[in-house]
Structure 1
Amino acid sequence: MSLTELSRKVSYSKGYLSKIENGDKPPTYELARACDAALGTGGQLLGLVPRLQRGLMTFLPSQLPAEGADFVGRDRELRLMESFLADGSTVVVVSGAPGVGKTALALRWAHQVRDRFPDGSLFTNLRGYDPSNEPIEPTEVLDSFLRALNVPLDSIPTTMESRASLFRTILDRKRVLLVLDNAYSVRQVRPLLPSSPNCLVIVTSRRSLPGLVAREGARRVVLEPLPEPEAITLLRRRIGATRADSEPEAVEALAAHCAYLPLALRVASEWVGSRPRRHLTDMAQDLASARTRLDALSVEDDATTAVRSVFSWSYRALPTEAARLFRLLGLHGGAEFSVGAAAALFNSTPREVRRWLDTLSSMHLVSEVAATRFRFHDLLWLYARERAQAEESAESRKAAVGRLVSWYLRSATAANKLLAPAWHPPLVEGPCPETEPEQFTDYREALNWCELECDNLVAASRLAYDHGFAALAWKLPVTNWDYFHLRKRWAAWIDAHEVALLSTQRIGDRRAEAWVRNNLGIAYCDLRKFDQAFSHLRESFIVREQLDDDWGRAWSSYGLATTHQAAGELERATVYYENSLVFFEETDDLLGKGLCLAGLADLHRVRGEVDQALATLRRAVRLFRALEDRHAEGYAATKLGATLREAGRTQEALDYFRQSLAISRQAGDRQGEAFALDNLALVLHESGQREQAQDHWLRALRILDELGDPRVNDIRARLSTTDGVPPVGEQ
């Protein structure tokens, strides 16, 4: 292939390529990617770019967690794994029942052999058996691994296949150790396997993962409970040799009742250690009799039954307040929770509940994952739920859920007021727990809280619905709409609002139903599912007409306007914008007025009425500035830039697009950031700066692809039709 032909395919100038060919310029990471795509070399050129030139730092990843100080035995398994490595095996699967010590063994061996892998170590929890989350996707793990390998964020590909290819390229001829913990399936693991025969991958799973054995030649270690002598050794270490040796038969009984499972043994020994004056024989008898209390949890030939017995035993040793907190936490919608949420469930203060959380943590019934956040082990969370069902009355459970959801509602209200101060959601009254809601000092703090709690907020709506709090169930998603809209969390947005819709219909609150349908319509419009969008928005409009809710009708009309505009029905969009604007002007609703003006200006621009579009947009910007709504101002800045571009005022257009880009990034508005990048790329391309344009389009594509935004296809279309730039799928 000639230099001229290569220049056309990769959209780099012939002169630039000639300088690289002659050694006058170093090759860049971006050029290597483009050449790999054009030549079909599958990442080989990328691997040849010097590390520092690719922006990679010189430090190596070292992600292995610390191994447990009380690891016992497993000599046979360790020798077996060592023999696998000596035979040249590159993938070792450790499988077995929950609580059997798979992770502990994997980490033990990983630390023993890590010095043989001088290029670093990687670790991830694949969440294969997490009751509150789906197993983590390989795409997300690859993103984390590539960052750990010092790949710049803007150089990480968007698709799983591309990330896996880059991952394999970087690890080619390297000696890296990987531990993939808690895998759910072969599909989850396979994209994470390097191709280098010098790497070692240790996988743990409750499944045997036969596909890895058959196709990748993985070697398998099936982990059984500890042999009795090793189980007793573990107990002796944790409760003290003197005490254990004084009642050896009781120690044997304790180990047997724990089914020799390391998890059960550790929880049991913690409880024994906290009661130094109790006889071990009595405690062993207590554990033996626990089976009658847990018959409903028992399964024949299921070793986890013993684990539940140990949980029960530790639970019953808790102080009254800590035990009640433990079971109430079982009502929480997610395994991870904050101190504030726990306090709401307990109807107490964060300070008091923190004391009992520390008690639970010290007995390994919950784990502290951050300064104010805790997490259940999956089996313990299930057990706590069962205890709540068994020991709390229906009235008590309902009251606790009401306090929790009300706390989330009030906290979400505080957060969303900072995210969108000009917005006025419906009333948020509900049961008022003693616990104060979260308070936020600034925008970023509020946004971070919403990010952490997003899944819990959706789960809280379901809890409210299930426990008869229909009003809370619809108010929570509607209150959190600003966050959903800002971050484009469409799945959570729709899931929560579907629950909200059922709630409004259950109680016959048509005004609330109209709000929920309005929000659903906007979500579906964003996703370009116009049939669903129009269905919800029209129903919302009809209901509000029937209720003589003029303000609500104006917002439904605005939603219909934006949806008609997105669907290309400009005349209908104009009518709905103008109808909404009349009411917003009468009521002096500045936000509604500004948004309608921005929409109408867009329509003027499309019709070629540039002067009218600019005048209308400047009116909108003045309103947004009066509201101090930077997010809305950034939205208008993008439209101003687009209009100035149409008018041929290139530099002014660039200034507005850059302003919009800065505002969007500051606000955490990733879709707005992508739109600003797209528009910047158009102007740069038209002014002959094609390399920069392509870079901006690729950044926009990555963002929209990660969001799951259907507009990503628009960017792909631009890239595929801009004078020799290859289609995105070929890059």
Structure 2
Amino acid sequence: MAGVEQTMWVEVLGEVKARAGEQEITLGPPRQRAVLAILALRANQTVSRAELIDGVWGDAPPASVEGSVHTYIHGLRRALSVSDQAVLTRTGAGYQLVLGQRELDLNVVETRLAEARSLARAGKGSASADLISECLAQWRGIPLSGLPGPFAESERVRLTELRYQLVEERAELMLAAGRHRELVTELGEAVEAEPFREGLRAQLMLALYRSGRRADALAEFEAVRRLFADELGLDPGAALTELHLRMLRSESGLESPAETPPQARPQVPAQLPHEAPDFVGRATELEQLAAWCAATRASGKALVISAIDGAGGIGKTTLAVRFARMVAGSYPDGQLYLDLRGFDPNRAPLSANDALGQLLWALGSTRQRSEPDELVSMYRTVLSDKRVLILLDNAVSTEQVRDLLPGTSNSLVLVTSRNRLSGLVARDGARRLTLGLLTESEALDLLRNTVGTQRIDDDPAAAAELVRLCGYLPLALRVAAEKISGRPDTSLRELVENLHAAQDRLDNLHVDDDEMTSVRSVISWSYTSLDHELARTFRLLGLVRAPNIGAFAAASLIDRPVAETEGLLRTLSEQHLLEPESDRYGFHDLIKVYAGEMAYSEEPPEVRREAIRELMVWYLTGMRAALVRLIKDYPLPPLAIPGTTHPLPDFTTRESTWKWYEEETKNVAALIEHAGEIGEHEIAWQLTWCTYNSFYSTGLMSEWIQILTIALASTEQLADPGPKARILMFLGIGNSRIGRNEIAVEYLERGLSVARGIDNDHLRSSMLANLASTLREMKRYEEGITYAREAVELVKPESPYYQKAGSIDALCELYVESGQPEQALRYAELGLEAARACDAALLEANMMVNVAHAYRDMADMTTAMREYEAALELCVRQGDRYHEALALLGIAELRRRMDQYEDARKHAHRALDIFLELGGEESDVTLAFLASLDTGATS
């Protein structure tokens, strides 16, 4: 409004916002707002471009970062220009945001806080408290909420800590002024948010006491004592303990935040395994881990890495999970867990690339970059603005772990390994914690927790001998405890004598420094007491190389009804011979070794082979049934062996079917090598064929290529050339996906040579289309078009719609990229019709975007816009974020060609937000496009 001064106001104590007078300013995408936050918190100072890059992108800025800074500064200058003052200026060394003392909420806090402390020194405590209340009112949520980058994360921590310091300072003043009743609710909320701040708890205790709530206070102190013992293995500090004693002399109490359940956090990974219910001891180790975390935060360092090493069965994972659950609340962006399989007796360790793929998938990234360095960069970028707890279990080496460490991040990484991982300490600043055996006292406590105090304390000598025989190893103690619990009428002394005898029988199996030595005899002691069915089930499960197994699969292995199998698995779990994992069961790896030993020593070879073969057939039948349920018109290869006679899970919904398929792919991958070893070559390649959709969607290409190589060896043993052609095609797809296009072409050309001799148009068409797409990636357009046209020519009216759509999509994309839009449009209508007929929404969206590109390149802007908008509508309806972003970027390009720069910028920013969210490599293209808009608009 004319004549009204448009003064500036900027907020950082919550979501970053700005106003000019009464007018809200649109500040743009998250990184643009992150740039503003840095400039605002360093108002009236020059901030260099390098400092902005470090603060927003951290250690892994993209190649186009200079252009991005220019784009964001330009966007901010335009947004802030509604003010009457030139608030964002360029200096020779960088940029400066000019703000008055009362134009930033944090400045207002600092000014009023100085006044409040002056009043307190003058003896005016109540007035000082009121002024601090005004300071606290400036916080409107989490400071710098939603902003990426290391600067925003460190400032979030600092400003949140400042807020709680002010809460404590104000409470002290109000308690001294006799205003305790006003404090109870506020302190309760503060303690709920920060449950381990003992200063706040002491103030709440005193406020409750002074408000006449003595009973509540006594009850609440007992609750906080339990919280500290359970979560930290500690007692409350001296101040709280002393205050409790005064409560007993008619003073104060505590309300426990532990009784208030945490708020649900949608779409945040929560992958930590369940916690051992009988956890004992390790108080020193837990204290040390907590101290390292606290010291790192206090020093301003971003990343805590703790490497926990020790022997197998000693409790590394149990300790790590215990500590992770204690501190999980401090990592609001989620908890990741990954078994790196460093010491799995049946599977190779997880490669760093495949581990990165799984972690990125858990963090919500739905597109994968191809090269290892790009995967690392994407992973660190995703984590740069998050506080995530990452537990990497069973690492085999430093090299396996190093690429899994975040860059600049306020995350916590816990690594467990049987090796010492010295390189992680020397080069990456990890803190090593070597876990020893339990003390005798801790070992006895574990037995008391599981067996009962009286039985252990009635014969202390026998109990001491028992824990010695178990080697003070937690795993062995848990197995022994279950054995004792199952014989309530037998004396502890008799049980110890039986264990002595069991160890004598197994002496010939002992090897120096073999970590099985201390646990094998205890497992044997438990195993020999199993009835026939349980022992048989235990042995046959030892044959399975898969990481876990469900009741339906286990029923096929042991050839028993599902209900009976569920009971057997439950019983073995109750005796600590199996570990429950949701609706599945797995072995501790040491127990798995023992179960395998028993299978090979007590089961005839033909029994072992038949059992494991039936399991493989069950999985193959199940995977094929799931694919038929999931994908209409899916081209399953013919099955040359009879299917299973055992029941499959009920695939009632697409969601439950996909969940089963994705989880079981991990088990199938472990069975493929075994199938090849025992000569079940038909099963080996067919199982591999069934894994395509899971591996391709999650991007775990290195692991997939490993099992494809195994499957290829199996196809060499078969007379039918079809399996070999199919596996060669998948090897081409897998290698192309990770950027090995030359190798991919070799596999695809070999596969095509085999496929040309087979009467299967669909197989040849698929091979040709994939070869054409790989050549397109290599910019070899003419060759690609030749192959894609041949793929399309193989399509007949009776061909499956999926085949038609895939072939035509490959050809359309090649014609568009090679500058032949008219040719693309000739085929597009048939391709879209086929895609819609088989519900292939991704193919439909991709073709719609390419149709719009074609009209754009023919300068038919009206039709192109209509096609982009139609594609956009489909993508939003289907939840297809990737193609939605491509359509938005297409619209932005159209607007630029029409000199409509503001609209072009708006659509490009929307596309950029999606590409950044998905980790798409197109984000760099979009940033370059935005930078070019500024050049075009000013030229």
SS of the aligned residue for 2:634 comes to coil
- Residues 38-76 of structure 1: per-residue CA shift (max 9 Å, x gap): 543356479999736634999788989887554445566
2:51 is the alignment partner of 1:40: yes
Q: CA deviation at 1:505?
A: 0.2
Structure 1 partner of 2:465: 253
Are 1:235 and 2:447 matched, yes or no? yes
Note the 1:311-350 alignment, pairs <5 A. 311-350=523-562
Residue from 797, 801, 805 that aligns with 1:590: 801
Over aligned residue pairs, what C-alpha RMSD do you find? 4.7
> Which among 696, 709, 716 is matched to residue 911 of structure 2?
696
Contact 1:454 1:492 in 2 (8 A): no
The question of whether the paired residues in 2 share the 8 Å contact of 1:259 and 1:306 is answered with yes
Answer whether contact 1:29 1:46 (CA < 8 A) is retained. no
State the partner residue of 2:350: 134
CA contact (8 A) 1:403 1:431 kept: no
Indicate conservation of the 8 Å contact 1:343/1:349, yes or no.
yes
Larger mean Cα displacement after TM superposition, 687-696 or 600-609: 600-609
Counterparts in 2 of 1:194 and 1:547: CA distance versus 1, 3 Å: closer
State whether structure 2 residue 142 is matched by structure 1 residue 51: yes
1:262 aligns with 2:262: no
Is the contact between residue 828 and residue 851 of structure 2 (CA under 8 Å) also seen in structure 1?
Answer: yes
Structure 1 residues 231 and 178, CA, compared in 2 at 3 Å: closer, same or farther? same
**In structure 1, distance between residues paired with 2:750 and 2:499:** 59
Deviation at 1:269, TM superposition (A): 0.7
TM-score normalised over the length of structure 1: 0.78
1-side partners of 2:760 and 2:282: how far apart? 71
Which sits farther off after the overlay, 352-361 or 87-96?
A: 87-96
2:924 matched to which residue of 1?
716
Distance 1:205 1:406 in 2: 35
Distance in 1, Cα, partners of 2:771 & 2:316:
55
Q: In the alignment, is residue 510 of structure 1 matched against residue 721 of structure 2?
A: yes
Q: Residues 359-395 of structure 1: CA distance to partner in whole angstroms, max 9, x if unpaired? A: 121112222222x222322322333233322222222
What is the CA-CA distance between 1:684 and the residue it aligns to? 6.3
- The equivalences for 1:471-486 within 5 A come to 471-485=682-696
Q: Structure 2 CA distance, aligned partners of 1:127 and 1:50?
A: 36
CA distance 1:26–1:625, shift in 2 (3 Å): closer
Query: Does the aligned pair in 2 maintain the 1:94–1:223 contact within 8 Å?
Result: yes
The offset of 1:292, in angstroms, is 5.5
Deviates more, 1:428-437 or 1:333-342: 428-437
Residue 30 of structure 1 corresponds to: 31
Secondary structure of the residue aligned to 2:717 is: helix
Residues 169-210 of structure 1: per-residue CA shift (max 9 Å, x gap): 777xxxx999877666667489469888xx998776544455
| Alignment match, 1:500 | 711
Show the 5 A alignment for 1:101-250. Answer: 101-102=315-316, 125=337, 127=339, 129=342, 131=344, 134=350, 188=401, 191=405, 205-210=417-422, 222-244=434-456, 247-250=459-462
Paired letter, 1:356:
L
Alpha-carbon distance in structure 2 between the residues aligned to 1:178 and 1:487: 19
The one-letter amino acid of 1:716's match is D
Select which of 543, 557, 577 maps to 2:754.
543
Distance change in 2, residues 1:544/1:208 (3 Å): closer
| Inter-CA distance 169–206: structure 2 relative to 1 (3 Å threshold) | same
CA contact (8 A) 2:812 2:847 kept: no
Q: Aligned pair 1:384/2:595, yes or no?
A: yes
Change (3 A) 1:281 1:434: farther
Paired position in structure 2 for 1:729: none
Q: Distance in 2 between matches of 1:575 and 1:193?
A: 45
Shift, 1:26, TM fit = 7.2
SS state of the match for residue 226, structure 1?
coil
Distance 2:390 2:776 in 1: 50
The residue number in structure 1 matching 2:653 is 442
Distance (whole Å) between structure 1 residues aligned to residue 516 and residue 496 of structure 2: 18
- TM superposition shift of 1:693: 1.1
SS in 1 for 2:25: coil
Q: Is the 8 A contact 1:244 1:251 kept in 2?
A: yes
1:639 to 827, 833, 850: 850
Q: Aligned match of 1:656 in 844, 866, 870? A: 870
- Report the Cα distance in structure 2 between the residues aligned to 1:483 and 1:107, rounded to whole angstroms: 28
Q: Deviations over 1:589-609 (max 9, x none)?
A: 433333333344445545665
Paired with 2:761 and 2:293, the residues of 1 have a C-alpha distance of 73
Report how far residue 319 of structure 1 moved: 2.7
> What SS is found at the alignment partner of 2:572?
helix
Residue 351 of structure 1, CA deviation: 1.9
3-state DSSP class of the match of 2:756?
Answer: helix
8 Å CA contact 1:514, 1:543 repeated in 2: yes
Q: Do the aligned partners of residues 583 and 66 (structure 1) sit closer, same or farther apart at CA in structure 2, a change above 3 Å counting?
A: closer
Indicate if the aligned counterparts of 1:184 and 1:207 stay in contact, CA closer than 8 A: yes
Contact 2:443–2:467, Cα closer than 8 Å, also in 1:
yes
**Alpha-carbon deviation of 1:273?**
0.5
| Shift of residue 502, structure 1, vs aligned partner | 0.8
1:638 aligned partner, one-letter code: V
Q: Does 1:451 align with 2:662?
A: yes
Is residue 279 of structure 2 the alignment partner of residue 97 of structure 1? no
Query: 1:4 matched to which residue of 2?
Result: none
Quickly say closer, same or farther: Cα 1:281–1:201, change in 2 above 3 A.
same
Q: How does 1:290-689 map to 2 (within 5 A)?
A: 290-291=502-503, 294=506, 298-370=510-582, 372-485=583-696, 488-585=699-796, 587-605=798-816, 610=821, 613-646=824-857, 647-648=860-861, 649-659=863-873, 661-662=875-876, 665=879, 679=890, 682-683=893-894, 688=901, 689=904
Query: Where does residue 223 of structure 2 map in the other structure?
Result: none
Mean Cα deviation higher: 18-27 or 335-344: 18-27
Structure 1 counterpart of 2:487, from 264, 268, 275: 275
Q: CA deviation at 1:22?
A: 11
Pair 1:653–1:74, CA change in 2 (3 A): closer
Letter in 2 for 1:661: C
Q: In structure 1, what is the Cα distance between the partners aligned to 2:389 and 2:839?
A: 51
How far apart in 2 are the matches of 1:253 and 1:547? 70
Q: Supply the distance in 2 between the matched residues of 1:55 and 1:195 (Cα, whole angstroms).
A: 15
For residue 723 of structure 1, what is the amino acid of its counterpart?
Answer: A
Deviations 1:559-604 (A, max 9, x none): 3333444433444334333433333226544333333333444455
Question: In 2 relative to 1, CA 605–55 (structure 1 residues): closer, same or farther, beyond 3 Å?
Answer: closer
How many residue pairs end up in the alignment? 686
Deviation at 1:288, TM superposition (A): 2.5
CA contact (8 A) 1:701 1:716 kept: no
SS at match of 1:309: helix
Give the drift of 1:436.
Answer: 1.8
Distance 1:177 1:574 in 2: 48
Is this contact kept in 1: 2:785–2:814, CA < 8 A?
Answer: yes
Indicate if the aligned counterparts of 1:46 and 1:169 stay in contact, CA closer than 8 A: no
Confirm or deny: 8 A CA contact 2:314 2:435 kept in the other structure. Answer: yes
Secondary structure of the equivalent of 1:368? strand
Distance in 2, matches of 1:165 and 1:533, equals 29
Residues 1:284 and 2:496 are matched in the alignment = yes
Structure 1 gaps of 5+ residues are 1-15, 706-711, 727-731
The one-letter code sitting in structure 1 at the alignment partner of 2:834 is L
Closer, same or farther: CA 97–192 of 1 in aligned 2, 3 Å: farther
**SS in structure 1 at match of 2:796:** helix
Is 1:677–1:699's contact at 8 Å kept on the other side of the alignment?
no
Counting aligned pairs with the same residue, the percent is 29
